[in-house]
Structure 1
């Protein structure tokens, strides 16, 4: 009986060592929450910020709502909090105060980032439609645009530092379109992050041992 039990222990040890759980944890470490979401937020935030400064290079007279670098910078901060939360989750004490604070902070920043990204999408969509219908004429180191050139009292838009008006009607319009796509991506990953945090907080009672005990109670 002693030999049999020792062999069973060896077999059990081998099965525990060969279990796919450890291999899956090594392979899917990048896929763990919130590492993948935070990495996507960081990349999109950097992309939004870079495109915004490229828009400022076209004309320095662009307003802050036309170059949403603020949306990209805020998403970079959200991503940094997500990375910190990922490191805190890997600590042995998963019920620490630090982990709770960073969970609340990450959830709040994801909601704020979602609102800011949608606001940036609204601004970019409005200016994209506006610049697409511009009629522009070059001036002295500037480009003067109007929506209706036949209207003598129509509102004019002066873009300083622009020598070629195609930079406004073509290049700037393309940048606005990129901002719409990138900020929609930011809004999506912020919504994903907030949803997963909310689900983990309020739907954790329907997972794990409680489901197993509920199934055994049904069978009985």
Structure 2
């Protein structure tokens, strides 16, 4: 496991990053979204929590949303507790979920390929949510990790839960509905989730018990704040 800064008054939270870098056969690149990573990371650390990272294939995966002119981006990537931990991120199979009271699935289109139906990610979700009584969060395309998760009783995690994600309408508007392997919104609804969304590019965060979901990159700040509020109660 990577070395982390610890704070005895806070919890450990695991950020999960996609390692998939190709947007189907479109010729476009994808990866984990840096902005969706930085804002919740800053909020949770300011609240006294320790953030660790895992990436599907281990190590730093391909990245999108990086603005070299943004000092917050530069600072995160240079920080041993930020980009330094991303560089040495273990695979989900090598993570002990018992250590975490929160897990956050960062977005980026790559999640649609390598988060979906991933056994180790499902194991982490179930452990954090059911065994640890912790908080599960996902942003934009990150909720792909939640599709198909079954709880100990056999029912879907998402059944009856209020959620959001990147919308099918937003996918269609970008002509990516035929590029991604499935419709995330429709998959969430098929699992029994009660889906809502705001207009494209407007922030929208939904809290359903200890499950927090956000619609898009514009929702990163709100998701981080709601995570911090819930982690203060678990």
Q: TM-score, normalised by structure 2?
A: 0.23
Q: Which has the higher helix share?
A: 1
Q: TM-score, normalised by structure 1?
A: 0.24
Query: Larger C-alpha radius of gyration, 1 or 2?
Result: 1
